[in-house]
Amino acid sequence: MAGRRPIIAANWKMHKTHLEAIQAVQKLSYLLEREDAERVEVVVCPPFTALRAVQTLLDADRLPYGLGAQNVHWEARGAFTGEVSALMLQALRCAYVIVGHSERREVFGETDDVVARKVRAVYANGMIPILCVGETLAERDAGGTEDKVVGQVRAGLAGVGDDDAARVVIAYEPIWAIGTGRNAEPADAGEVIGLVRATLAALYSKDLAEGVRIQYGGSVKAGNIRGFMAHPQIDGALVGGASLDPEELALIVKYR
Ligand code: PGA
């Protein structure tokens, strides 16, 4: 993976109260050695309601994990009942924000334009987006994977300059593999991720593209992480279901 530090992010989705989140991070900290978290960047993305509690724990115990949010609004403040801004997430010392997860796109109707606005808001507040892209099964079967994924990468990075783009994390998550127990084959995921990298090279530069970390996501677990990490294009994973159990998450981080 050409010197790129792997990044494994736990997407807890709408799971865990703040108390459960604290417990999970504490347990993780007992299971992981310092070296594990040096070799692999570990990011936890709890629900909004647990961000403060987890941030306090990370700070107090100087735990070497990044904090990420799962969503964000594109405006800094205003009359947007129920929304949370990038300014607020930055104040909690979030380092990452998942943007454009397929559940946001499919269940909450987020368009490419909305995703792009969120990406820019994340950068404007000094954080890094984990930009999610991926095709449905119907799109894959119709041979439309490349168009869909490349289109989402281009749209999501609209208006993003070189310095910011160099720091992006992209998560390639085929929708048919999310939460289904049916993971993509590492070779297939690696091929699509290669296309994403080529898109970055075309949009920015080859050097920039070689430095960007691109994760695979979709039914990653301790039993299949090694195959993904062995692929030279794949720089980590965005893990949903399997990340809820700290023991499983620790095994994923220690994949070697
Ligand atoms: P999964 O979810 O690991 O449960 O398939 C991945 C994701 O949605 O990020």
Atom of ligand 1 nearest to the CA of 241: 4
- Predicted confidence at residue 2, as pLDDT, reads 58
Distance CA 132, CA 163 (A): 20
Domain ranges in the chain are 7-253
| Contact (Cβ atoms closer than 8 angstroms) between residue 218 and residue 183 | yes
Residues 181-207 as b or e (16 or more Cβ within 10 Å = b): eebbebebbbebbebbbebbeebbeee
- Predicted confidence at residue 223, as pLDDT, reads 97
pLDDT tens string 21-66: 999 999 999 999 999 999 999 999 999 999 999 999 999 999 999 9
| Mean predicted confidence (pLDDT) in 132-143 | 97
Atom of ligand 1 nearest to the CA of 220: 3
Which amino acid is it at 161?
G
- Predicted confidence at residue 239, as pLDDT, reads 98
Pick the CATH number of 7-253 from 3.40.140.10, 1.20.1440.130, 3.20.20.70, 3.40.50.720: 3.20.20.70
Average pLDDT, rounded, for the chain: 97
Residue 143 pLDDT greater than 60, yes or no: yes
- Predicted confidence at residue 116, as pLDDT, reads 98
pLDDT tens string 189-239: 999 999 999 999 999 999 999 999 999 999 999 999 999 999 999 999 999
Degrees, nearest 5: CA angle 212-88-72? 55
Among 7, 8, 11, the mutation site with the greatest number of ligand 1 atoms within 8 A of its Cβ is 11
- Predicted confidence at residue 172, as pLDDT, reads 98
Please state the pTM of the whole predicted model: 0.98
